């Protein structure tokens, strides 16, 4: 091969490399620089809908989930009805509501564990895997997330029915809006396998729920003579000096403070950061496996969830401040006056 031919070949190769590099960076059209369209997600077997659960199987799963939650409710109510009397209005109110809180404990512990499991599994995953459940190749993980989504959705159905039945004892309008919103979001997330990473963070929001339920039990036990010994036993175990109603007030305050900070950590900071990450992912990758209308509904509901959490955080903060500055202060002053009266009686 001659030197001239070799030089011509090298020059052509260099020109082709430079042209390819320029095209990879920008496309020039009509004298303007245009960005390349974002890559599209190609989920596992996206064209093969048999990879997703059938409608009949999905409906059966939901019915089984609702039956499971309702079964726990009925069993706990039957057991509690046998052991708790109804000698006062407070006892009747507690007896009527306690079963819902028992089931809520089970639901919160399960979703907290499941949510953190999903988050830690997908935190270093690729964008397609965070946006589409069926982009994940691990069949076991896909099945696990489907079960978690069904558990979440079926509990929302079960709880929504009870909230409507006992309205407004289990929550007001904000609770109804919350339930209807997440009813829609969880249904669409399951139907399309959408945004499993965001779903994981949504489940982690239940981390604060056990503290909220614990506050209910402490407040109820403090107000009933039959259960007040539970408060004394708990106060003694924790090394508190106070007993009775005063100890119950302090316990309720401590639990409320803990609930507030855990709420801020998971429902504002954690959930909010996940929403930012979801927004970045959606701008970087075209999730064309979901219809545009469904994408818009899911994103709007996710944003509304954060706004609702902000409103609740403000409400909880006000409750904690009020309880600290007014209720506990008045109870402490009453405790001091009682001790002074008893001292004067002993002196006389």
Among all chains, which residue has been given the structure tokens 């993980």?
A: 141
pTM comes to: 0.77
* pLDDT score for 174: 78
Supply 348's token pair: 């006389």
Q: What's the CA gap between 113 and 77, in Å, rounded?
A: 26
Instruction: Read off the pLDDT of residues 232-288 as tens digits, 9 standing for 90 and up.
Output: 888 888 888 878 888 888 888 889 999 999 999 999 999 999 999 999 988 887 666
Looking at residue 33, its pLDDT comes to: 43
Helix %, strand %, coil % of the chain (to 5): 80, 5, 15
d(CA 207, CA 257): 14
The series of mean pLDDT values per 10 residues for the chain, 348 residues long, is 53 50 42 49 45 81 94 91 78 84 94 96 91 90 94 92 78 81 90 92 95 92 86 87 82 91 96 94 75 90 93 90 71 47 36
pLDDT at 266: 96
d(CA 252, CA 235): 11
DSSP string across 241-293? S--HHHHHHHHHHHHHHHHHHHHIIIIIIIHHHHHHHHHHHHHHSB-TTS-HH
User: At CA 196, angle to CA 192 and CA 201, rounded to 5?
Assistant: 135
Say how far apart CA 63 and CA 143 lie, in whole Å. 18
Model pLDDT, residue 241: 83
- Cα separation, 329 vs 319, whole angstroms: 14
Q: Where are the domains of the chain?
A: 52-332
- pLDDT of res. 304: 92
pLDDT on residue 144: 95
Q: Give tens-digit pLDDT for 1-44.
A: 555 555 555 555 555 444 444 444 444 344 444 445 555 554 44
What distance in Å separates the CA atoms of residue 164 and residue 137, rounded to the nearest whole number?
Answer: 41
User: Which pLDDT does position 141 carry in this prediction?
Assistant: 94
Cα–Cα distance, 127 to 282 (Å, whole number): 9
Q: Helices in 84-138 by DSSP H: which ranges? A: 89-122, 127-131
Burial code of 251-283, b = ≥16 C-beta within 10 A, e = fewer? bbbebbeebbebbbebbbebbeebbebbeebbe
Predicted local distance difference test score (pLDDT) of residue 287: 60
């Amino acid at each position: 091969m001659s030197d001239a031919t070799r030089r011509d070949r090298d020059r052509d190769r260099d020109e082709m490399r430079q042209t390819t590099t320029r095209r990879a960076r920008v496309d020039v059209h009509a004298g303007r620089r245009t960005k390349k369209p974002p890559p599209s997600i190609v989920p596992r077997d996206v064209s093969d809908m048999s990879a997703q659960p059938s409608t009949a199987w999905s409906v059966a799963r939901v019915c089984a989930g609702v039956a499971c939650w309702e079964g726990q409710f009925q069993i706990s109510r039957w057991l509690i009805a046998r052991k708790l009397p109804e000698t006062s209005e407070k006892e009747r109110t507690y007896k009527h509501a306690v079963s819902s809180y028992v089931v809520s404990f089970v639901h919160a512990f399960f979703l907290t564990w499941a949510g953190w499991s999903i988050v830690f599994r997908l935190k270093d995953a690729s964008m397609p895997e965070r946006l589409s459940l069926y982009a994940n190749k691990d069949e076991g993980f896909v099945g696990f997330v489907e079960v978690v989504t069904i558990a979440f959705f079926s509990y929302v159905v079960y709880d929504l029915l009870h909230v409507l039945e006992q309205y407004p004892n289990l929550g007001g309008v904000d609770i109804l809006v919350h339930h209807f919103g997440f009813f829609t979001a969880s249904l669409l997330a399951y139907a399309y396998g959408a945004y499993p990473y965001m779903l994981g963070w949504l489940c982690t929001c239940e981390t604060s729920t056990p503290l909220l339920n614990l506050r209910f039990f402490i407040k109820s036990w403090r107000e009933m003579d039959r259960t007040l010994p539970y408060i004394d036993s708990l106060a003694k175990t924790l090394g508190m000096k106070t007993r009775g109603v005063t100890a119950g007030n302090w316990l309720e305050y401590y639990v409320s403070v803990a609930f507030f900070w855990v709420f801020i950590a998971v429902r504002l900071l954690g959930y909010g950061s996940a929403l930012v990450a979801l927004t970045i992912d959606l701008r970087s990758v075209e999730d064309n496996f979901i219809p545009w209308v469904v994408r818009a509904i899911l994103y709007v509901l996710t944003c509304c969830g954060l706004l609702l959490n902000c409103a609740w955080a403000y409400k909880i903060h006000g409750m904690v401040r009020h309880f600290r500055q007014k209720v506990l202060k008045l109870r402490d002053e009453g405790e001091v006056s009682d001790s002074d009266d008893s001292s004067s009686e002993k002196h006389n």
